[in-house]
Structure 1
Amino acid sequence: MDFTEVSLTALRVLRAVAEQGRFTAAATALGYTQSAVSRQIASIERLAGTQLLERRRDGVRLTPAGHLVLRRAMVVLDEIDATARELSGLPAQAGTVHVGWFPSAGAVLLPRALTALRRTDPAITVVTREGSTPALVRALRAGSVDLALLGSAPPFRPPDAETPALVLQTLTERSLSLAVPVGHPLARRDFVDIADLHGQRWIAGPASGEDQLMGVWPGLDERPQIAHTARDWLAKLHLVAAGFGITTVPESLAPAAPDGVRILPVRGGPQEQRRLVLARLPGPQAEPCGRVAQALRTAAIDLDTPH
């Protein structure tokens, strides 16, 4: 066994597979064929002399040895990237923090936190990426993001069952609300009765294997009529403003709603609470990461404070 012969390509492939959770998804992200990804993983496992990935019916997970190799690989890949930047004449990105965010966090909270951080800590570079909660949890485990803003719904279970458990902090907990066109009959009052949701046209996110159908009121006792599907929150809200349907939104998105949209609470049924959670791996935090986390917490407090 001579692990010094492992290639940078194999390390990048291992990182992508750990992050994506599937060989096919990693191949798509890297622009490789699935067979090329499989060959790279087989090569690195052969050099390591042990299995680095556990193949399961629902995808792949890192073994303890895989976690060890990936943790070391991230150091190597970061140094290679820093060297490439310096050779190209760009300043080294000292104090870079990678943040993943659940879609609704990117409309209001994240920009506010980054704006404040630019004033207080201009030397810190923050690189962000959007993703679903399951994808961001995998990215945390893979080490490709340092912090993740995750969405959570009742019964508010941990986002995965892997060990060690992630460190979680609730930033906001708000009721799910409804976005309706200002000219819609539902917009005539200051709230929507749940009984009035029957027969409505909904604008929802596309359903997938790991994402719930976001945009339709949970527990609706009828088959919803989906008028339009859109993954992007802003697209949904503009479709609402144009009068093409209604959609659910976290209450925290109200400041981002365009003209022509009313954000209203829903009454007459169980409270539908939604949390925005800040997650990270356990262990000591580097100072830049801690500063970014504090900026996110401060922005969340500001959003919850009446002005």
Structure 2
Amino acid sequence: MEFTLTGLRVVREVAERGTFSAAAESLGYTQSAVSRQIAAVEKTAGAAVFERRRDGAVPTTAGRVILRHAAAVLDEMDAVERELRGLPMETGHVRLGVIPSAGAVVLPRTLTILRRTHPGITVTSREGSTPALTRSIRAGTIDVAVLAAVPPFRAPDTDKPALHVETLTERDLCVAVPTTDPLAENDSVHVDELAGRRWIASRSSGEEPLLGVWPGLPERPEIVHVARDWLTKLQLVAAGCGLTTVPASMTAAMPANVRVLSVRGGPQERRRLIVAHLPGRQSEPVARVLAALRAATRQD
């Protein structure tokens, strides 16, 4: 049994990107080239490596075994290439702040990318609200922060100098429902169908609005559970205890028995995921982290 390095790289890229087309774009290959590489790996393995689904490609049991060992092999070969080319190992420490929703999907993806491309860079992370992380940037206790922004998309604060802000994603707010709910039979829900529903929300404070209830409902919402932790909220949804709003970027982190629906009708509810840092030239490690964040959010 003999796998090629190219085949292993393609398998890893498909697993990380979620689709053959996204992996092809990332690698600079055609989609047919990616398919040929996967077919060759599957022929060598004697088993399917990915389950082709309507929503993407998911590693099979054999695929997960290959991925587990491929990671070590490819990392070693990358190190060999760097040493042969005489490239020094780039090192550094970056302090990254993330809002909770970004911590569920974007942070793991970013760290996976960095571990492959710049293993010498150490990232430590801290979770917090957008206002708290903005203050941390100003205080110099973190270098970069992934924040949330809502219309009219103002700057995170009004202090000077203005923070450098870059939009990573801009997508519609969605609603998470249990798969046992009749609403889950469709890909979307009309805003009128959300009336009279029970909601799972995060506690509001002086600096953050209530999170988890669809904005602008023509009634006083019935909030049956209050939880700040995303895992708690989503497991309560899965148990049929209510609905909650979620950013579209969190779709990949949903439990198996939770469905994410877009919402039709009413005003459009757009949400941005932004990255912010102090103005001025950034260190090379910070620049590498920013590049990894961009790559991680392009996977959606």
Normalising by structure 1, report the TM-score.
0.67
Select which of 146, 150, 158 maps to 2:147: 150
Establish whether residue 270 from structure 1 lines up as the match of residue 267 from structure 2.
yes
Q: Give the letter aligned to residue 109 of structure 2.
A: R
Instruction: Give the structure 2 partner of residue 253 of structure 1.
Output: 250
Q: Equivalent residue for 2:61? A: none
Unaligned runs of 5+ in 2: 1-90
CA distance in 2, matches of 1:298, 1:223: 40
- The one-letter amino acid of 2:242's match is G
* One-letter amino acid matched to 1:224: P
Is 1:241 the equivalent of 2:235?
A: no
- The aligned residue for residue 115 of structure 1 is 112
Q: Does 1:226 align with 2:197?
A: no
CA distance in 2, matches of 1:194, 1:206: 23
Aligned to 1:137: 134
Secondary structure (helix, strand or coil) at the match of 2:298 reads helix
Residue 158 of structure 1: SS of its match in structure 2? coil
Q: How many residues are paired up? A: 210
1:189: Cα distance to partner?
A: 2.1
Q: Which amino acid aligns with 2:106?
A: L
Deviation at 1:186, TM superposition (A): 1.8
- 1:165-180 matches, cutoff 5 A: 165-180=162-177
Give, in whole Å, the separation in 1 of the partners of 2:107 and 2:123. 11
**Which amino acid letter does the alignment assign opposite residue 175 of structure 1?**
D
- How far apart are residue 260 of structure 1 and its match? 1.0
Does structure 1 residue 202 correspond to structure 2 residue 204? no
**What's the CA shift for 1:219?**
1.1
Counterpart of 1:17 in structure 2 is none
Give the counterpart letter for 2:110 in structure 1. Answer: A
Pairwise CA RMSD = 0.9
Letter aligned with residue 122 of structure 1: P
How far is 1:211 from its partner?
Answer: 1.6
Question: Any residues of structure 2 matched to 1:77-88 within 5 Å, and which?
Answer: none
CA distance in 2, matches of 1:249, 1:228: 16
1:261 and 1:302 map into 2 onto residues whose CA distance is 21
Does 284-293 or 188-197 show the bigger shift? 188-197
Q: What residue in structure 1 maps to residue 180 of structure 2?
A: 183
Task: Give CA deviations for 1:127-153 in whole Å, capped at 9, x if unaligned.
Answer: 100000000000000000000000001
Instruction: Measure, in 1, the Cα distance between the counterparts of 2:187 and 2:288.
Output: 39
SS in 2 for 1:302: coil
1:147 maps to a residue whose letter is: V
Q: Which residue of 2 aligns with 1:283?
A: 280
* Match of residue 299 from structure 1: 296
> Which SS does the other structure have where 2:170 is aligned?
strand
- Larger mean Cα displacement after TM superposition, 229-238 or 168-177: 229-238
Corresponding letter in the other structure for 1:154: P
TM-score (norm 2): 0.69
Deviation at 1:182, TM superposition (A): 0.7
1:185 Cα deviation after fit? 2.3
AA partner of residue 101 (structure 2): S
CA distance in structure 2 between the partners assigned to 1:291 and 1:283 by the alignment: 15
* Runs of 4+ residues deviating >3 angstroms: none
Counterparts of 2:185 and 2:121, CA distance in 1: 47
SS in 2 for 1:265: strand
- In structure 1, runs of 5+ residues without a counterpart are 1-93
- Please give the secondary structure, in 1, of the residue aligned with 2:260: strand
Same amino acid, percent of matched pairs: 60
Match of 1:97 in 2: 94
